Amino acid sequence: MPPLHPPRGRHRKPADTTVLVTGASTGLGLAIGRALIARGYRVVLTARPESMHRFADLGIREGQGVFLRALDVRDPDHRLRIITELEVDLGGIDVLVNNAGISYRTVIEHATERDLQDQLLVNFQAPMELARLSLAGMRARRWGRIIHVSSVGGMMAMPTMGLYSASKHALEGASEALWYEVRPWGIGVTLVEPGFINSDGFQKVRYTPLAQQAEADQRDPYHAHYRYMADFIGAVMRRVQATPQSVANKVVRVIEHPDPPLRVPATLDASLFFWLRRMLPRWVYHRVLYWGLPSVRKWGRGPFSRPALPETGPKEDAED
């Protein structure tokens, strides 16, 4: 059956297409930016104000279709200002790539309301607000692409990563609704879902105060959770073949696809978990994953003490 209201503008030239990439001074965002520049797109790369120096350090400067803008995705004024500025100066955004994000490593018991709010603000609220602000221009032009960098954590959850998974699940749900809502105007919405990527990203996760205390204290009831999960994630991310560049290439293919799908698994493990969830009965799926957790038989054992409740909120060290 042919798709209803297929996206228009199938033969847009890269030089005539403006792409905004958030969190572009490091990691996957940087790889996406470089891939788009190499393809000849008109690219707006953003980073937090305190991270803008990284572009110069990396040899990326404005000129020949490359624009650098400071953007703190947490700040509503920043979000509104950049979308308004690009509408005036460049005629609007054709493609929005919401890549900026942060990741907490904490069990639910060690997370405060403020931690949860911060995780959701950066990974869910900010990208949806940027999408909302971009839509009027895309509708007027009757073409656009909204690409949210999600995660395998948006389809499943791992222990110590519950807040992160919550933010990605929220992003996936809202994006699915948005896919239906804006398709009549030729606007495509896609969730790019990476799993493990061979990078140093696992070293940039944030710990709540209680999580940090528990990882360091062998008497804490959750010490084994943090110790074995951190070792496991780090080992896997150093061994997998997927790289920021390979995922960035998939983002470019989504932009250039005449009718991009709602979800794109971006790594082998993301595809594997997608099919496991579909093929296995749910009770089997969860038990298989549980007994596959690293050293899970050691979890919940040891001379435990009760940790004190935290008095402080999250550190202000969010990723771009």
Q: Is 319 helix (H, G, I), strand (E, B) or coil?
A: coil
Reported residue count of the chain is 320
Sign of CA dihedral 81, 86, 92, 93: negative
Residues designated catalytic: 164
Question: Which pairs with CB-CB distance under 8 Å and at least 24 residues apart come from 88-92?
Answer: 90/18, 90/42, 90/44, 91/18, 92/18, 92/134, 92/137, 92/138, 92/140, 92/141
d(CA 61, CA 101): 23
Strand order in the sheet with 144-149: 66-70, 42-47, 18-21, 95-98, 144-149, 187-193, 263-265
Let me know: does 18 contact 95? Beta carbons within 8 Å.
yes
